[in-house]
C-alpha cells in the first residue's frame, strides 16, 4: 500500500532529526574537549559530554523505531535546558561570547527537533524555554545575549517551514484519496462493462438461439427441457438489465494524468479541476487513451499534448500531435480505433468527438455537453 504523504513526512523528518541530534552531540563533544580552558574542570565537561552523547544515542534509537515521541522530546528539552544553565562550568568564556559553543549547537538542534515533533502551538513555547535558559546560562557569567535573537529566528523559521511542509503533505494526501476514489469508481465501471459484454454473448449464444428455434417452428410442443431452457434464458435477460452507473462524481484530471503517464510517448498535460460522473470520466479516459495509442502507432512523433478545459456548458478534452496527419473520411469502417474507440465511446456517454487533421498535425476534441451543475 502506498505510504501517505503525511506519514512519509513524519518518518523522514524523524530520521533527519535523529541523525542531526546525534551528529551535533558527537561533534559538540569533540569541540567541548578541544575548547577546554581555565576555569573549566575536565571531569565536569567530560561528564556533561558523556551524558549528552549517551542521550543522543537513546534518542536516535527510539526515534528511528517509533518516531519522535512526546515523552522523549520532553526529556530532550529538559536535558538541553540543564546544559544551557550550566554553561559557566561547561563552556569557556570566550566561546560564550561568540555563540558558537557546543551548547549552542545542542540548543539550535533541540529547537529544530521540537518543530519536527510538534505543531507550532507546542513547538514555539518549547523553543522559547530552551532559548531563554540558554540566555540565562550565558548571562550568569556575563556572556552575550545576542544569540537569543538567533534562536528566536530559528524558532520562527523552523515552525513556519514545518507548517508549510505539513500543509503540502495534507494537500497531497487529499489529492491521493480523491484519485483512489476515482480509481475505485472506474474499476466498478470496467467491471460492469465486462459483465455487459458477457451478458451480450450469452444473449446471442443462448437466448436468441432459443427464440429463433421457437419462431421458426423448430419446437411444436412444450416439454420439461424447453421450460428449463426458457427459465435459464429469462434469468440471463433479467441479469442483463442495466443497474445504472455508480452515483458518484470524480475529478477527471486524475484519470487523464494516469492515461498520459501510461502512454507510449511523452505527453504534456494541461489539466484543470473538473468533476464529472464516473461513467463520463471513463468515456473520456478510454477515448483519450485510444487517441494517444493512435499517435504512438501511426505517427513518428514522440510527443503529444492533452488538455482539459471546462465552461458552463461543456467539458472539453483535446489531444494534439504534430504528426503528418491523415484524412479522417478515408478511415475504413472496419477500423475500430477511431469509429468506436473514440467517437463511439464518447457518444455512449452522451458526448461527442471531432477529429481534424492536416499536414501540420492532428487534433482530437472530446466534448461532453454537461449540465451547468456538473462543471465548476
pLDDT digits (tens, 9 = 90+) for 23-65: 999 998 898 888 787 888 999 999 999 999 999 999 999 999 8
Domain that holds residue 257: 249-374
Q: Enumerate the β-bridge partners of residue 304.
A: 267
Higher-pLDDT residue of 211 and 153 is: 153
Half-sphere exposure of 17 (CA within 13 A, CB side): 32
Give Cβ neighbours of residue 325 (< 8 Å, ≥ 6 apart).
357, 358, 359, 360, 361, 362
pLDDT band at 126 (very low <50, low <70, confident <90, very high): very high
pLDDT digits (tens, 9 = 90+) for 172-197: 887 777 777 766 666 666 666 665 55
Q: State the Cα–Cα distance between residues 132 and 212, nearest whole angstrom.
A: 94
For residue 111, pLDDT beyond 70: yes
Q: State the Cα–Cα distance between residues 330 and 338, nearest whole angstrom.
A: 11
Q: State the Cα–Cα distance between residues 59 and 69, nearest whole angstrom.
A: 9
User: Residue 363: how many CB atoms within 10 A of its CB?
Assistant: 17
DSSP labels, 312-344: SS-EEEEEEE-S----GGGS-TT-HIIIIIIII
pLDDT band at 249 (very low <50, low <70, confident <90, very high): confident
189 within a domain of the structure (yes/no):
no
Residue where a domain terminates, one of 173, 197, 223: 173
Q: To which residue does cell 461532453 refer?
A: 368
Most confident of 206-210, 275-279, 319-323: 319-323
Higher-pLDDT residue of 94 and 193 is: 94
Candidates 75, 82, 58, 73; CA nearest to 13 is 73
**Residues 160, 254 within the same domain:** no
Which backbone phi and psi does 341 adopt, to 5 degrees?
Answer: -65, -30
**Residues 255, 362 within the same domain:** yes
**Residues 150, 270 within the same domain:** no
Structural domain count of the chain: 2
Q: How does the average pLDDT of the chain come out, rounded? A: 80
353 within a domain of the structure (yes/no):
yes
196 within a domain of the structure (yes/no):
no
pLDDT of residue 248: 73
**Residues 145, 47 within the same domain:** yes
Angle CA 312–244–187, to nearest 5 = 85
pLDDT of residue 278: 82
pLDDT band at 219 (very low <50, low <70, confident <90, very high): low
Task: Tell me the pTM.
Answer: 0.59
Amino acid at each position: 500500500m502506498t505510504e501517505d504523504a503525511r506519514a512519509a513526512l513524519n518518518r523522514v523528518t524523524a530520521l533527519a532529526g535523529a541523525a542531526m541530534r546525534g551528529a551535533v552531540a558527537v561533534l559538540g563533544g569533540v569541540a567541548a574537549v578541544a575548547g577546554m580552558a581555565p576555569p573549566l574542570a575536565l571531569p565536569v565537561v567530560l561528564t556533561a559530554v558523556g551524558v549528552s552523547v549517551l542521550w543522543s544515542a537513546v534518542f536516535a534509537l527510539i526515534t528511528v523505531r517509533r518516531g519522535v515521541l512526546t515523552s522523549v522530546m520532553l526529556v530532550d528539552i529538559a536535558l538541553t535546558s540543564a546544559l544551557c544553565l550550566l554553561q559557566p562550568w561547561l563552556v569557556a568564556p570566550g566561546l560564550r561570547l561568540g555563540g558558537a559553543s557546543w551548547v549552542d549547537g545542542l540548543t539550535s538542534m533541540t529547537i529544530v527537533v521540537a518543530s519536527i515533533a510538534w505543531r507550532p502551538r507546542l513547538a514555539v513555547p518549547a523553543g522559547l524555554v530552551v532559548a531563554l535558559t540558554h540566555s540565562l546560562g550565558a548571562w550568569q557569567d556575563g556572556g552575550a545575549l545576542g544569540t537569543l535573537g538567533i534562536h528566536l529566528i530559528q524558532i520562527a523559521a523552523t515552525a513556519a517551514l514545518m507548517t508549510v511542509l505539513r500543509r503540502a503533505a495534507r494537500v497531497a494526501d487529499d489529492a491521493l484519496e480523491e484519485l483512489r476514489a476515482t480509481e475505485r469508481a472506474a474499476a466498478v465501471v470496467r467491471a460492469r462493462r465486462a459483465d455487459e459484454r458477457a451478458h451480450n454473448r450469452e444473449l446471442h449464444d443462448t437466448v436468441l438461439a432459443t427464440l429463433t428455434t421457437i419462431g421458426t417452428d423448430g419446437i411444436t410442443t412444450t416439454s420439461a427441457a424447453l421450460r428449463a431452457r426458457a427459465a435459464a434464458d429469462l434469468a440471463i435477460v433479467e441479469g442483463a438489465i442495466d443497474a445504472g452507473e455508480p452515483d458518484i462524481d470524480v475529478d477527471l484530471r486524475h484519470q487523464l494524468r494516469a492515461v498520459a503517464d501510461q502512454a507510449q510517448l511523452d505527453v504534456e498535460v494541461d489539466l484543470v479541476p473538473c468533476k464529472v460522473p464516473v461513467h463520463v470520466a471513463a468515456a473520456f479516459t478510454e477515448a483519450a487513451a485510444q487517441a494517444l495509442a493512435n499517435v504512438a502507432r501511426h505517427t513518428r512523433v514522440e510527443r503529444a499534448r492533452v488538455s482539459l478545459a471546462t465552461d458552463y456548458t461543456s467539458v472539453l478534452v483535446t489531444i494534439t500531435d504534430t504528426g503528418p496527419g491523415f484524412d479522417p473520411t478515408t478511415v475504413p469502417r472496419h477500423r475500430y480505433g477511431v469509429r468506436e474507440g473514440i467517437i463511439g465511446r464518447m457518444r455512449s456517454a452522451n458526448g461527442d468527438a471531432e477529429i481534424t487533421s492536416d499536414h501540420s498535425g492532428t487534433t482530437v476534441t472530446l466534448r461532453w455537453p454537461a449540465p451547468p451543475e456538473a462543471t465548476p
